[in-house]
Amino acid sequence: MYILYGGRFTRSLMVEMVLAEGNINYQLREIDILKNEHRSTEFLKINPSGWVPALITAEGIALYETHAINLYLSERHQLVHLAPRADETERGLFLSGLFAICDDLEPVMKRYYYPHRFSLNDADIPRVKQIALNDALDCLKVIDGRLSENGPYHLGDRFSLVDLSLSYWVALIYYLDVLKPFAAIRQCMNLVMSRPKLQPMFEYQIEWNKESLQSAKAPWSML
């Protein structure tokens, strides 16, 4: 059985989505990042970089990096509905879409949610957030164009990790009134969020995101 280290306000939820889609048994060991448990001596032995998620395999190997874990799980358990095989025609387009999320969208979303890491002082934070949001919308415009041509999913009628990853990040700005121009993304996201095993997880994600933003200070702003 796998052991997944993660918790609220972390990308471990994305790994849980893959585990759910694959009907894969695992044990969740919650790491409270607001209490700096991800920086504890015990956890640093598992992942010296001090980030979650981390996944312990049945062989006792510690894996890290969300998308690497998800790709590993998909291929190890032959979840071809999440990741095309290497000999399939869609494999190249799948990898292009997945790495576009990793390299283009994810970094700007991090800037939006962790603006203090990119600011010299508190006065800079609103501008950093706005620039990050503008960059995110530029990324979404490109993705929306691709989905409009090939959709409803990145691989046409075939759901994959690309759509799951996109939906995870878009859900973080679901509360903002910025998605109206992106009809293809909204269609894709609605399809992903309606999947029986994923629906409760996305509802949970959107709810805790809304809850944290209503507080005086978002939890991740303290990280």
CATH of the domain at 198: 1.20.1050.10
DSSP code of residue 220: G
Give the residue from 128, 199, 193, 197 showing the smallest Cα distance to 166: 193
Distance separating alpha carbons of residues 69 and 86, to the nearest angstrom = 17
pLDDT tens for each residue of 18-38: 999 999 999 999 999 888 999
Phi and psi, residue 156, nearest 5°: 75, -120
pTM over 0.85: yes
- Residue at which a domain ends, from 41, 76, 111: 76
Q: How far is CA 213 from CA 36, 157, 167, 208, in A?
A: 20, 35, 19, 8
The boundaries of the domain holding residue 199 are: 91-218
CATH of the domain at 20: 3.40.30.10
Beta-carbon count within 10 A of 18 CB: 24
Buried b (16+ CB within 10 A) or exposed e, 54-90: bbbeeeeeebbbbbebbbbbbeebebeebbbeeeeeb
My answer on whether 70 and 99 are in the same domain is no
> pLDDT at position 114, please?
85
Phi and psi, residue 11, nearest 5°: -80, 5
pLDDT > 80? residue 221:
no
pLDDT tens for each residue of 164-218: 999 999 988 887 889 999 999 999 999 999 999 999 999 888 777 666 655 545 5
My answer on whether 139 and 210 are in the same domain is yes
In this predicted structure, which of 10-14, 68-72, 152-156 has the lowest mean pLDDT? 10-14
pLDDT tens for each residue of 73-114: 999 999 999 999 999 999 999 999 999 999 999 999 989 888
pLDDT tens for each residue of 114-155: 888 898 888 999 999 999 999 999 999 999 999 999 999 999
Evaluate whether 67 touches 98 at the Cβ level (below 8 Å). Answer: yes
DSSP code of residue 55: E
Number of domains in the chain: 2
